[in-house]
Amino acid sequence: MIDNLFASRGSSREIEEGTTFAPKFDEAGLIACVVTDIGTGEVLMVAHMNAQAIQRTVATGEAWFYSRSRGALWKKGETSGHVLRLKEMRVDCDQDVLWIKVELVGPGACHTGRRSCFYRAVVHSAPDAPMMLEFRDAEHSFDPAAVYGASKE
């Protein structure tokens, strides 16, 4: 039944210029999904979807993903309440990456307690020095211990 939702992969031209949705899942059945905030445009997180996660996301209007580490389907916000309301789902030219624009319900998308998972910039002071990270937009928007307890969404 879920297989009927997607088309099989056709020619490059069909994939790039057609209106048939033929996502390219990797050998684990997953496709990467970039999540941006529809208001600010910032990248909130990147996660993976399988066929079922795509189906549930589109059907329910809230983002579902597949956790590689836990080997399980999960709804973003199932523990925290910080769900991601789907505003638009896009796919790229070769249909191997998804981009969803969402409205973040609640203070943050990152399990560390920040709004976005991308709270550090890569900086490089000298060619022979190690690259380092610098915190940016890294203030906590919620207390992860209070929200998640021992679980990690």
Using CB under 8 A as the criterion, which residues of the chain lie in contact with its own copies when the complex forms?
1, 4-7, 16-21, 32, 34, 36, 40-43, 45-46, 54, 58-59, 88-93, 97-99, 110-112, 114, 117-122, 124, 127-128, 130-136
CA distance 59 to 100: 14
Instruction: Please say which residue, 41 or 71, places its beta carbon nearer to its own copies.
Output: 41
Other C-beta atoms lying within 10 Å of the C-beta of residue 30: 18
Report, in Å, the least distance between residue 75 CB and its own copies. 18
Residue 95 structure tokens:
């249909």
Report, in Å, the least distance between residue 91 CB and its own copies. 6
Instruction: Please say which residue, 42 or 62, places its beta carbon nearer to its own copies.
Output: 42
Instruction: Please say which residue, 4 or 11, places its beta carbon nearer to its own copies.
Output: 4
Report, in Å, the least distance between residue 83 CB and its own copies. 19
Report, in Å, the least distance between residue 139 CB and its own copies. 13
CA distance 21 to 95: 8
From the number of C-beta atoms within 10 Å of its C-beta (0-12, 13-18, 19+), residue 151 rates as exposed
Instruction: Please say which residue, 78 or 90, places its beta carbon nearer to its own copies.
Output: 90
Instruction: Please say which residue, 15 or 83, places its beta carbon nearer to its own copies.
Output: 15
In three state form, how does the secondary structure of 36-94 look?
EECCCCCEEEEEEECHHHHHHHHHHCECEEEECCCCEEEECCCCCCCCEEEEEEEECCC
Torsion of CA 74, 75, 78, 83, to 10 degrees: 150
Report, in Å, the least distance between residue 96 CB and its own copies. 8
